[in-house]
Structure 1
Amino acid sequence: MKHLLSSEFILYVDNQETASRFYESLFRSKPTLEVPGMTEFTLSGQLKIGLMPNDGIAKIITPTMPHPEKGNGIPRCELYFHVEDLSFEFENAVKSGARIISGIEERNWGDRAFYIADPDGHIIAFAEKR
């Protein structure tokens, strides 16, 4: 889709500071934007991950949609990253305080992958191609 120039996926979080420090450790990178109400990490030239407090997005989407705080701790998305060194990323995730959901395993779709959860329950997978 050549008409899409870049992408940003925004996760709704309970505590922006807690989430920002977790992702800073997980990505081993400082945020490229960190202001009250939004933290962004630029992962590549065309991809960013944003962290927005539940109360901030609630001002935009409620009452049409439920307040995001009702989903705290419930897996609401999955981020899937292919990496060069899966074992290194696993150890880094553990050091970052991630909750291990599923350890490194051969997956039936052709990847070796592990699954973790961030402090808000969002699922993150790191994988290597076999």
Structure 2
Amino acid sequence: MHFILYTADQQESTRFYAFVLGKPPRLHVPGMTEFDLAGGAVLGLMPVAGIRRLLGDALPDPAQAAGVPRAELYLVVEDAAGCLARAVAGGGRELSAVQRRDWGPEVGYVLDQDGHVLAFARADGKPA
């Protein structure tokens, strides 16, 4: 499964996600960056200009929604609080500290520079 986030600045988004995920991208070329995620999933980063070139007027311009949360990337991790802190240190904006949620697990939320929400959930679902 591939998830692609549209970014205003591919280089800055690549730096941020490499820092947050703690690994380099598996692919980094003009127009696309990819990171391996758990379970064989892949996170792609595509510049807004790239999707505009591909789809033209068939899609509203994503740049007009800059800063508006348009997606959530929910990552199940061993150390949710550590990942949240790392994302903030890398330039993300904390939205909500790691805490037990109504549906069970402990989850914290950060906003990346493009307005995408990152959720870090404890893998075991138990309190820290």
What TM-score do the two structures reach when normalised by structure 1? 0.90
2:21 corresponds, among 17, 27, 38, to 27
Specify the SS of the correspondent of 2:86.
Answer: helix
Gaps of 5+ in 2: none
Q: What's 2:118 paired with?
A: 124
Identity of aligned residues (%): 42
Q: Which has the higher helix share?
A: 2
Q: What's 1:74 paired with?
A: 68
Q: Aligned pair in 2 of structure 1 residues 121, 35: CA closer, same or farther (>3 Å)? A: same
Backbone CA RMSD of aligned residues: 1.1
Specify the SS of the correspondent of 1:21.
Answer: helix
Q: What's 2:51 paired with?
A: 57
Asked if residue 108 in structure 1 is aligned to residue 121 in structure 2, the reply is no
Q: What's 1:42 paired with?
A: 36
Number of aligned positions between the proteins = 124
Q: Which runs of 4+ in 1 moved over 4 A?
A: none
Cα offset, 1:44, TM superposition: 3.4
What TM-score do the two structures reach when normalised by structure 2? 0.92
Cα offset, 1:87, TM superposition: 2.1
Separation in structure 1 between the aligned mates of residue 48 and residue 113 of structure 2, nearest angstrom: 13
